[in-house]
Amino acid sequence: MASSTHPSAPCAACKFLRRKCIQGCVFSPYFPPEDPIKFTNVHKIFGASNVSKLLNEIVPHQREDAVNSLAYEAEARLKDPVYGCVGAISVLQRQVLRLQKELDATNADLIRFSSNQNMMLTIPQTSGNYPQNHPHVLPPNYSSWNNYNP
Amino acid sequence: MASSTHPSAPCAACKFLRRKCIQGCVFSPYFPPEDPIKFTNVHKIFGASNVSKLLNEIVPHQREDAVNSLAYEAEARLKDPVYGCVGAISVLQRQVLRLQKELDATNADLIRFSSNQNMMLTIPQTSGNYPQNHPHVLPPNYSSWNNYNP
């Protein structure tokens, strides 16, 4: 949630940039003075001027989300200067592929089990309850994000 | 792969910044003149000065990966100014959770099928081949990336 205004204290951005925090400051709602790291991270990676430009191009009700995603990216880039949060995307993409492969294999096994059981059921049995239609046999389509490409 | 040097043409960065592209220019290997968009995107989002600082803090053999990940982030931010590539991370995280849930459900069904079959096998059969130990019944641990937090 955007911070409340602090009439008595400049926002973290204005404090860092050593300038007067005027009413309507574009940074003020999103960079409260009690969280100076959030601004210094974003400033170090994107630059205050670029962030200001970006915020001014976004409708006010989406600015908080934008600042939070910038802060997330900045923190990831400071922790991993080579890959930043793109490293996370690669890890997640590999994880999705691995899970999809595992699910496909498990579904194939379910089909085999189900077929075997159907064969057994051709011999009349007096006990047992063997469902022949399985809700998980056909996997949903998870392929759309396997190769994220902005 | 980093571009070859272009002794007769300035790199895309120096051309954009209207400066002489000297030997040893930190941008030159990664911003060839034939791909001006790559630099303008990165400059618009991160600023040339920040990119230069970042590259100088990274060992040379990792700079190409760094530039490519910056270019990816920049393109994502230009396409989605509010969430940038963090939007991709959210989508992928949800996809991993959904796949894991689906896999858990399918594995539970496999266990149920397997138990039912074992019950049937207590009555001697003359045909059929029913494996009782299933390699996919116990899922691997995919939980480590469910909540990426740099």
Q: What are the distances in angstroms from CA B106 to CA A53, A106, B129?
A: 49, 7, 21
So what's the pLDDT on residue A126?
43
Tokens of B60: 């040379």
Q: Which residue shows structure tokens 């998980």?
A: A136
Is the pLDDT assigned to residue B22 strictly greater than 60?
yes
Beta strands in B1-150 (DSSP E): none
- How confident is residue B31, by pLDDT bands cut at 50, 70 and 90? very high
The minimal CB distance from B46 to the residues A45, A83, A125 is found for A45
Secondary structure (3-state) at A23: coil
Q: Are B127 and A120 in contact (CB under 8 A)?
A: no
Q: What is the least distance, in Å, from the CA of B9 to any CA of chain A?
A: 27
So what's the pLDDT on residue A124?
52
Interface check A62 vs B, CB under 8 A: yes
Name the residue among A50, A52, A59 with its Cα closest to residue A31.
A52
Note the pTM of the prediction, 2 decimals.
0.74
* Averaged pLDDT of chain B: 82
Q: Which of A111-115, A135-139, B14-18, B89-93 has the lowest mean pLDDT?
A: A135-139
CA–CA distance, B57 with A80 (Å, rounded to integer) = 12
Q: Which residue of B has its CA nearest to A120?
A: B128
- How confident is residue B121, by pLDDT bands cut at 50, 70 and 90? low
Is the pLDDT assigned to residue B32 strictly greater than 80?
yes
Is the pLDDT assigned to residue B72 strictly greater than 90?
yes
- How confident is residue B123, by pLDDT bands cut at 50, 70 and 90? low
So what's the pLDDT on residue B113?
79
So what's the pLDDT on residue B7?
55
So what's the pLDDT on residue B147?
45
Is the pLDDT assigned to residue B122 strictly greater than 80?
no
Is the pLDDT assigned to residue B127 strictly greater than 60?
no
Cα A95 off chain centre by: 14
So what's the pLDDT on residue A7?
55
Average pLDDT over residues B56-66: 96
So what's the pLDDT on residue A53?
95
Which of the residues in chain A have pLDDT under 50?
Answer: 1-6, 125-150
- pLDDT, tens digit, 9 for 90 and up, residues A114-146: 777 777 666 554 444 433 444 443 333 333 334
Q: What are the distances in angstroms from CA A12 to CA A34, A38, A42, A70?
A: 7, 8, 11, 15
Identify from B43, B53, B95 which residue to disrupt to test chain A contact, counting A C-beta atoms within 10 A and taking the largest count. Answer: B95
Is the pLDDT assigned to residue B51 strictly greater than 90?
yes
Alpha-carbon dihedral sign for residues B85, B78, A43, A77? positive
Q: Are A47 and A24 in contact (CB under 8 A)?
A: no
Which residues of chain B does A142 touch, with a Cβ-Cβ cutoff of 8 Å?
Answer: 95, 98-99
Name the residue among A105, A43, A130, A148 with its Cα closest to residue B106.
A105
Which string of DSSP letters, residue by residue, matches B120-138? HHTS--SS----SS-TTSS
Is the pLDDT assigned to residue B2 strictly greater than 70?
no
So what's the pLDDT on residue B111?
87
Q: Which residue shows structure tokens 């059929």?
A: B128
Q: State the burial class of residue B18 (Cβ atoms within 10 Å of its Cβ: 0-12, 13-18, 19+).
A: exposed
So what's the pLDDT on residue B114?
79
Q: State the burial class of residue A8 (Cβ atoms within 10 Å of its Cβ: 0-12, 13-18, 19+).
A: exposed
